[in-house]
Structure 1
Amino acid sequence: GPFYVEGAEPGDTLVLELDRLVPNRTYGYTSTMVAPNAVEPSYVPELPWPPKRDERLLAEWYVDSEAGTAMLAKPETRLGRLTLPLAPMLGCFGVAPSGGQAISTGTSAEHGGNMDYRGFTSGVTVYFPVFVPGALIFLGDGHALQGDGEIAGTGIEISFDVQFTVHLRKGKRIHWPRGKNADHIFTVGNARPLDQAVQHATTEMVRWLQEDYGLDAVGANILMGQCVEYDLGNMFDPAYTMVCKMPGRVLT
């Protein structure tokens, strides 16, 4: 990208359907160490740092899209030739931010960005607020597989063939990214510290339940209190990501 969406204007909602995400190479790479901020400060010296602190050691994976697997090829560890099922996802995508901001794709905000949420897979529909004419969609950061939080700073980094479909909801204003899959609706908050990301995601979900699901304020709050689920997106980059989920079965 960026892709200009004809007719998209500030105050609209961009609807992005992730139709197909397929790795198009036979190899990918990951970091070999979890991020220092993911462990207790006293444990940081025990992490497997490279010989020179400014270097970064990488693990190499053999990716077989037809078989749907990734096999650890290097380095040699007690894991052996660990083989895991693929779960292709997009780590970084969204629209242009508001106010003429130039926000690095290494972080995230209301417009989306580097959220690294493993739930952004084929078949998911994602909703973004539109801040500029044309919305200016961008997509990238393909991961063949990634754990919650992207705590190593990478998934299995690889290039993708991506197919997506775009719709517009004219005059529908939302504040943060939203999404829907076969089992849940969800909202995304991006901020640091992590509790602020939780607040953004939770607020957006309460709004959504009242706006589109016919609940009053008390009903929405009761439902949230007993049925809400949370997933951790990125906790490696400048802004952390928290995803607030509501099971679709309680909304029918």
Structure 2
Amino acid sequence: MNDFDVVRVDPAPDRLVYTFGGHEPLVSVAPGTVIELTTEDCYGGRVRGIHDLPSRVCDFPKLNPVTGPIHVAGARPGDLLAVHFIDIRPRRDWAVSSTFPHFGALTTTHSTAMLHPPLEEVVWKYDVDVDRGVVRYHARRSDLTVELPLDPMHGTVGVAPAADEVVMSITPGAHGGNMDTPELRVGTTVYLPVNVAGGMLAIGDGHCRQGEGEVCGTAVEAAMQTTIVVDVVRGAAPAWPRIQSDDFIISTGSVRPLEDAFRVSQHDLIGWTAELLDLDPLDALQLVSQAGLAPAGNVVDTNYTMIAKLPTSILGAKRPYDGVHQRLCDVGRRYLAQR
């Protein structure tokens, strides 16, 4: 007998949404519910081979669809919504990536104007082998093939913003959104601020894997079958999304320019560390400066995302938010055991 409910969310293509905020919920669930959901890739499933150029087959600006929103009963503004990833599994035996004109870290864009032409629009198709745990890269202009480890994650996870704001799903911010960090993988818990009643959680943009920074502008993009469990912590809303794994506590910052995204994530991690260890802010600054890591999430989206990480081994017996991550991990283990 399980002490958790299981709800399935499998929206038709016309029920996918492209913003955080502005939508009625697909479903309402109680805290502690396990949710089995499907997501579509960032192209809406329309790029299926190397000849399907996104500019020709996609319906701009309808890119980066998300599944949701999901209303979590009892979640109130000021609370923290904890979302734990139990399983993320590709739904197809292929995935795609591409370069876009005017999009990416190494090309002229609308806000970084250059006289040289934009990058060429090219599509790469990857073979996905879930059983072997690999994705297979094929170079477009040579015979090189490389097998890379399958490392599924979601680029886009977020809640409705405050004050009835509506934000495109491609934009990351304090509400979460398109943070595009590989940290959002199986076994992690993301902590999001509740800004409206029910939080209004939405998830999408599955990646079979992604390098830090998402330099070309896209990852190995895939439709996913994902299982999560949600919970609410009263009055604990973080200023910016936070993430916890067994090995790290992680703060995020999503703004432009990149150095300010770095500052936001570091500032949040230093404050979190000071709170957990009862440290003076300068002592926490010193500790994070010597033990922290700072990978890039994305350097391509409308806002850039930086990550600040501190090993959980430094925390000793301290458990953020009264151990909600560990409790949700336990639910995940029990769910997988009976599946």
Asked whether the two chains share a fold, i.e. TM above 0.5, the reply is yes
Q: 2-side partners of 1:210 and 1:36: how far apart?
A: 36
- What are the equivalent positions in structure 2 for 1:201-240 lying under 5 Å apart? 201-240=265-304
Higher relative contact order, chain-length normalized (CA < 8 Å, sep 6+): 1
Matched, 1:95 2:159: yes
1:222 counterpart SS class? helix
- What are the equivalent positions in structure 2 for 1:153-232 lying under 5 Å apart? 153-232=217-296
What is the root-mean-square deviation of aligned Cα atoms in Å? Answer: 2.2
* Structure 1 runs not aligned, ≥5 long: 51-55
Structure 2 equivalent of residue 20 of structure 1: 87
Closer, same or farther in 2 for the Cα pair 1:12/1:79, shift >3 Å? farther
Which of 183, 188, 192 is matched with 1:128 structurally? 192
Structure 1 equivalent of residue 70 of structure 2: 3
Structure 1 equivalent of residue 329 of structure 2: none
1:148-195 Cα deviation digits (max 9, x unpaired): 111111111110010001011101131001111121111000000001
Amino acid at match of 1:69: V
Structure 2 equivalent of residue 38 of structure 1: 106
Amino acid at match of 2:304: Y
Matched, 1:113 2:173: no
Amino acid at match of 1:230: A
Q: 2-side partners of 1:36 and 1:140: how far apart?
A: 20
Closer, same or farther in 2 for the Cα pair 1:67/1:45, shift >3 Å? farther
Q: 1-side partners of 2:166 and 2:145: how far apart?
A: 42
**TM-score, normalized by length of structure 2?**
0.68
8 Å CA contact retained: 2:292, 2:309: yes
Closer, same or farther in 2 for the Cα pair 1:44/1:37, shift >3 Å? farther
Which of 115, 124, 127 is matched with 1:59 structurally? 124
Q: 1-side partners of 2:251 and 2:296: how far apart?
A: 12
Q: 1-side partners of 2:115 and 2:177: how far apart?
A: 28
Number of residue-to-residue matches in the alignment: 245
Amino acid at match of 1:24: R
8 Å CA contact retained: 2:189, 2:244: yes
CA apart distance, 1:77: 3.1
1:30-76 Cα deviation digits (max 9, x unpaired): 115795533699x99598x43xxxxx321111111111111135x54
8 Å CA contact retained: 1:36, 1:44: no
Closer, same or farther in 2 for the Cα pair 1:29/1:174, shift >3 Å? same
Q: 2-side partners of 1:71 and 1:107: how far apart?
A: 29
Closer, same or farther in 2 for the Cα pair 1:188/1:44, shift >3 Å? farther
CA apart distance, 1:85: 1.2
Q: 2-side partners of 1:110 and 1:155: how far apart?
A: 22
2:298 counterpart SS class? coil
* Structure 2 runs not aligned, ≥5 long: 1-67, 317-339
8 Å CA contact retained: 2:294, 2:307: yes
**TM-score, normalized by length of structure 1?**
0.90
Q: Which moved more, 1:64-73 or 1:104-113?
A: 64-73
Q: 2-side partners of 1:27 and 1:12: how far apart?
A: 39
